[in-house]
Amino acid sequence: MDYDLLTTVMRRLSLEAGDKIMEIYNGPDFEVKSKSDDSPVTIADEAADAIISDGLRKVFPDVALVTEEQAASHAVTANTFLIVDPLDGTKEFINRRGDFTVNIAYVVDGVPVRGVVYAPAKGRMFFTDADGVSVEEMGDFAKDTIGELKPIKVTTPDNDALMVVASKSHRDQATDDYINKYNVKDMKSAGSSLKFCLVATGEADIYPRVGRTMEWDTAAGHAVLTGAGGDVVRFDDHTPLRYGKEIFANPFFIAYAPGVTLQKP
């Protein structure tokens, strides 16, 4: 894989998809449909998916592609593949809360090694560079010119005063019960894959997810967190979270900055 090219293409496609998403977000009311699993989908999800999928297939025709919005791609069996969630946080989008992201990642041998997370309504862009180091781009996000880059790195956590981030739309008692095992200084909520990025930038120390997710929800954020020195492990046994699993479903997991003393479930 040409990682310089991959970085450029993933970044550009995320911006193009973000423009389309924001056009719909800022427009009149849009129809909300339900998929077979009762999760919501909008024209924005579908339009963003078309932009990203078409762009990736054009440049990387020989790399397997998995995307949330194309059910046929969920039958892919590969350890190395591109994986896309064109609009992560559809509920946030529908309610116009802004905490939604465009996610594109590249998985090699079950490990997300490169990724981009773009939050168009928040004006924040995180990605791994060609060397796998995570950065946040500052500025106006020109399509063909990368702007000022700020390296990001996880914080050194204080286990007596941890900063925790949890899901905004999927917070439940099981999550709170687990968080209560830690000494928490402050808690914040965020939607979509932004939670991974808040750990990656040091704005949080730990993000536990005690709930259903799919690999396209997590791969890009996982890559960004890894490139910032963080880690993601399974909730049950604290082994690395792997990708390319059956139907691309994740177990519960914990994303964190090394130094956090992980508690058992």
Side chain identity, residue 55: G
Q: For the chain, what are the domain ranges?
A: 3-151, 162-256
Feature table: binding site for Mg(2+): 68, 85, 87-88, 217
Q: How far is the C-alpha of 96 from the C-alpha of 92, rounded, in Å?
A: 6
pLDDT over 60 at 222, yes or no: yes
CA 65, chain centre distance (Å):
16
- CATH of range 3-151; options 3.30.540.10, 3.90.180.10, 3.40.1190.20, 1.10.287.70: 3.30.540.10
Feature table: binding site for substrate: 68, 87-90, 217
Feature table: binding site: 68, 85, 87-90, 217
**Cα–Cα separations (whole angstroms), residue 220 to 67, 83, 205:** 12, 8, 18
User: Is the domain defined by 162-256 classed in CATH 3.40.50.720?
Assistant: no
Mean pLDDT of 213-222: 97
First to last CA, the chain: 38
- Per-residue pLDDT band at 256 (split at 50, 70, 90): very high
pLDDT over 90, % of the chain: 80
Residue 231 vs residue 27, higher pLDDT:
231
Q: How far is the C-alpha of 215 from the C-alpha of 104, rounded, in Å?
A: 11
Residue 214, judged by CB atoms within 10 A of its CB (0-12, 13-18, 19+), counts as buried
Mean pLDDT of 127-143: 96
